[in-house]
Structure 1
């Protein structure tokens, strides 16, 4: 198996990045969480243009919390885009963030089994472990040790302002009647360690990622100013905003397994038909793509258009006056056909025809450990704590 995550290339990544025109420590300031999303999308368009001409200067870090098998929202929102980036020649590193499962729950369940299911979904969707590194949080000690010096670079007030921290604090109180855990409070800085351990300079995701990556940029900038002023060590990453909008579930809310409104990638054709059938529409017979005015109809059009390889507007024109019943038929057919090869690959992998998901993870863990050990050694050297 060829490795793409080369630990010998992580010593001065900003020099490599800037020489290839990719994001570096000198790149434009990332829009803050209160800045215009339009500005962030403009920045993402610039990055897409660079990706088209020279993908080799980018290292993507992204991943998932293994709270269950992946669903259609994951696939449209992130997973299909990761496969695209990989196939375009971008170096992709995927973290299965098992430590993040215990941030807000007492019982993580069958975590090993869930991690295996997530890796199966990755492989079935087209992630190639020969080109993309897949690793588990808990298996890379040096990555997690970076959290300690990184915490010294931010204030508690800066962490408290993070939208996810604020939201989860309220959710923890509502669910358990108690304050959130210290691990959840430090989540934004832990995510900075995820990104920076491998010198990632690009994080694909939705606009909710902007505040997290802003903290990562702050950590990188302050570390460089304090310990590596002569030659910046860490890059300041950018967000590549997801091309797909938020995918809604059957009840009109954001698709989520915990909400019971999702279609898992491993589900069968009958489950797909039931999933589409349960979707809300509205009383207007003529189908149009108007996301603001008709969000449920627009969501079905988005799902069908993605699967059929066309625009939502074109699909709306095709269905037209045939109404919601016909729309659901078209969307069901498109999803079934689009997901058929993915599901076939997943069944084969689950039956043992191909690499074992946990073997893939072990190989990725070894690659990630080599890089993290080198990064931690460099950080110790720069901080004067190498004894």
Structure 2
């Protein structure tokens, strides 16, 4: 048995080694139980082990081990709360990365169904899908916007594996990068920073308004904006589905391009938390080397960068807000932002407007693409329903959240449109929505 989270280790994809490591970790988790509330993986695991009088994790069947793996949706919250993580405990337990290893092992050993592979290929090729969808937005959005459970949505589910029960985010008619390249170049008076925007697929193809407001808020605060040398998908859908070969190919190209962006004197800002996590953390594991380290050190969440600017010596944000400022804001903190351990920078940013912030820290159950897969809807939708209940209970005048997919779950469960924090800040400045 090898305790390793290094994808390049010779035993990383060895099935016996992985399953022995699963037994070790499952036994530790069963004895601790601190993470029972984060997802169904842990209650399922505990129930399986409790079926045996001696509570021996080694007696779990392969199918039982795999069910625990399948129910993990990489929220990464257990890592934040685990007392046994590498560097802090001799047990060196990293549950999310072990689940990634197990998924990769199953994918490499042909233990993934054809349907799963088809779904991964559909969801993973976000740039191809986005380019086609934005050019055919009226038709595509009519299909995707069909009533959940309808014949159209069931047909989409059968052919693509995307759940016919979920509300899907529409595609934009104009991509963010198209807007950016066509806009008049603004001359920055007192420059406080230089950033390259890595828009992510969600902002590029589905929510370019987030990117518009990011650029305008940054420029108002003396930050010169350009596009990163690559704006292609970060590769997260492939990584979270176990296809590390496809993920690594994407990651290597992105690391080279983004390192070049940094060497031009730019920091990289990312408006979506899952993609930011991939650039900061996963590229280090799966690509490694000085370029990946350089990218990680210069990558910031969109709000994180602004707060860093505000607190640094010699720079500060404009705190004159003359636009629309809600009295109370309900702010949903996405799991993949919390997992970055940077603090609640979007909350801090919105507090500068004078609004009162109400935090909601319930997971959305989306986490990348996991919650949109048809086979996961039965587990994912109830998690989203809990989030919806918390949003309604908070009762803020405006609902916000950094993750566009989680915001979609909020819309699905409450009927309320959840804005990105930078959109709230833009309106508070009086910057009109395009």
Bigger RCO of structures 1 and 2 (CA < 8 A, at least 6 apart): 1
Query: With structure 2 as the length reference, what TM-score do the two structures score?
Result: 0.25
With the length of structure 1 as denominator, give the TM-score of the two structures.
Answer: 0.27
